[in-house]
């Protein structure tokens, strides 16, 4: 028999809350992988005047470039994240030591499948369609970078 029913009830309640937290965390991560709205899209910032980010400029070959650095457990854009639709795009990801699932990059709608990032520069070529996309890891755990295609 149980000698401490209050402790058992408290343990069960805490366990239930933790399970609910982890379910919400994993569902949010999968929404990121699928490129759907998630809790990562909620911004808790004071109201500011919105500035418009410049669109990536095509080079002499008519190709626009999106640059990122991958290190630690995040993808850091180092150029404009606004692209023009229908223009050939080169995504250059400089892997400076990305960890865990971050080594497998997902960009549902931008490119097919997952890209395995090798150390150093990685180049991915695609032609984006109009919309908003998320780049995250294969499991959705890396905070997503939002790409806007106009």
Residue located via tokens 């994993």: 26
Average pLDDT over residues 15-29: 93
DSSP-derived secondary structure for 99-121: -GGGGEEE-TTTSSSEEEPPSEE
* Contact present, 101 and 142 (Cβ < 8 Å): yes
Tell me the per-residue pLDDT of 55-89, one tens digit each, with 9 for 90 and over.
Answer: 777 787 889 999 999 999 999 999 989 999 999 99
Q: Please tell me the pTM assigned to this model.
A: 0.76
**In the chain, % of residues over pLDDT 70:** 92
Q: Does domain 7-41+60-150 have CATH number 2.60.40.420?
A: yes
pLDDT of 46: 53
The pair of structure tokens assigned to 111 is: 């490119």
Q: Answer yes or no: is pLDDT of 7 > 70.
A: yes
- Tokens linked to 34: 């699928």
Q: What pLDDT does 49 receive?
A: 42
Give the start-to-end residue ranges of the domains of the chain: 7-41+60-150
Q: Of all helices (H) and strands (E), which one includes residue 66?
A: strand 64-72
Q: Which of 37, 64, 36 is nearest to 127 (CA)?
A: 64
């Amino acid at each position: 028999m149980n000698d401490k029913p209050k402790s058992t009830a408290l343990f069960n309640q805490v366990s239930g809350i933790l399970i609910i937290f982890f379910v919400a965390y994993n569902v949010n991560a999968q929404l990121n992988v699928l490129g759907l709205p998630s809790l990562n899209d909620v911004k808790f910032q004071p109201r500011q005047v919105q500035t418009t980010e410049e669109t990536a400029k095509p080079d002499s070959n008519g190709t626009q470039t999106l640059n990122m650095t991958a290190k630690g457990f995040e993808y850091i854009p180092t150029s404009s994240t606004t692209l023009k639709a229908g223009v050939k795009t080169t995504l250059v990801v400089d892997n400076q030591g990305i960890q865990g699932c971050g080594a497998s990059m997902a960009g549902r709608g931008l490119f097919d499948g997952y890209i395995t990032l090798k150390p150093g520069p990685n180049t991915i070529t695609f032609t984006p369609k109009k919309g908003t996309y998320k780049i995250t890891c294969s499991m959705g755990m890396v905070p997503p970078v939002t790409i806007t295609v106009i």
